[in-house]
Amino acid sequence: MRRERAAARVWAFRERTELEAAALFDGLARDLESSGAPLALVQLAARCGDDEREHAVRCRAVVDALDPGLEAGAPDLRSTLGPGSLSVEARALYASVAVGCVTESLSTALLLEMRAHVTHPEARATVAAIARDEPRHSQLGWAHLAHAASRGSVAWLRPHVDAMVRAARGAESPPEPDLDLRPFGILDARRADEICADALERVVLPGLRLHGAI
C-alpha cells in the first residue's frame, strides 16, 4: 500500500498541473486571437486546453484507483506567463515557447519512457492517452515560433530560455526515492533528468536555435 499511496500523491500533483496547463492554453488562445495570429493556431491552443482538462479527469481516475479521496490541492489558474511588460503578441509567443516547445516536448519524451514500464491498468491507459495528445501540444509551440520567426526576429526570447527550461525540468512532483513506481507510470528522478537532458540536446535546443530563439 505504501507504493500505491506514494504513486497517488504524484498523480494528484499531475491532476493539478493539468488544470494549470489548461488555464495557460486557454489564456494563450485568447492572446493569439487578440493579436491576430492565424486561426489554426488559435483553434489548436483551444483544443490543447480541452485536452488538458481531459487529462486532469484521467489523472483523478488514477488517484481514485490508488488512494481514493486524496485531494489534488488547489491549482494556480493564472492564464499567462512571462514578464508583465510584454505586449499581448509577445506574451503569447513566450507562452507558446515555454509550454509548447519546452515543457510539452520534454513531457513527450518522458511519457514515451513511462509507457514502456507502466503496468497498472488505470495508469497505463492514462499514460497512453496523454502520450497521444502531448505531441500536438508541442506542435503548437513550434508552429507558433516558426510563424513568428518568419515575420521578424525572435531573439528577444534568448534571455528567457534558461528560466523556461528550469521550470519545465522542475515541474514534476518527485517520487519517494526508495520506491520503484515505474509500474504506476512514474520515473525515478535520475532517469527523468537523463531523459529531459537528452530531449533538450536532441530536440528542444536545436529547434530553438533553428528559429533564432537562442
pTM of the model as a whole: 0.93
pLDDT at 64: 97
Whether 171 shows a pLDDT value over 80: the answer reads no
pLDDT at 170: 80
State the average pLDDT over residues 39-50. 98
State the average pLDDT over residues 173-186. 87
pLDDT at 16: 95
pLDDT tens per residue across span 138-152: 999 999 999 999 999
Alpha-carbon span 138 to 7, nearest angstrom? 26
State the average pLDDT over residues 152-158. 97
CA torsion 112-110-60-134 (nearest 10°) is: -70
Alpha-carbon span 130 to 149, nearest angstrom? 29
C-alpha cell at 198: 537528452
* Mean pLDDT (the chain, rounded): 94
Q: 204: closest CA among 126, 142, 114?
A: 142
User: Looking at this protein, which amino acid is placed at residue 128?
Assistant: A
Q: From the CA atom positions of the chain, what is the Rg in Å?
A: 17
Whether 175 shows a pLDDT value over 80: the answer reads no
Q: Which regions of the chain does DSSP assign to beta strands (E)?
A: none
Residue 156 CB partners (closer than 8 Å, separation 6+): 90
Alpha-carbon span 98 to 163, nearest angstrom? 9
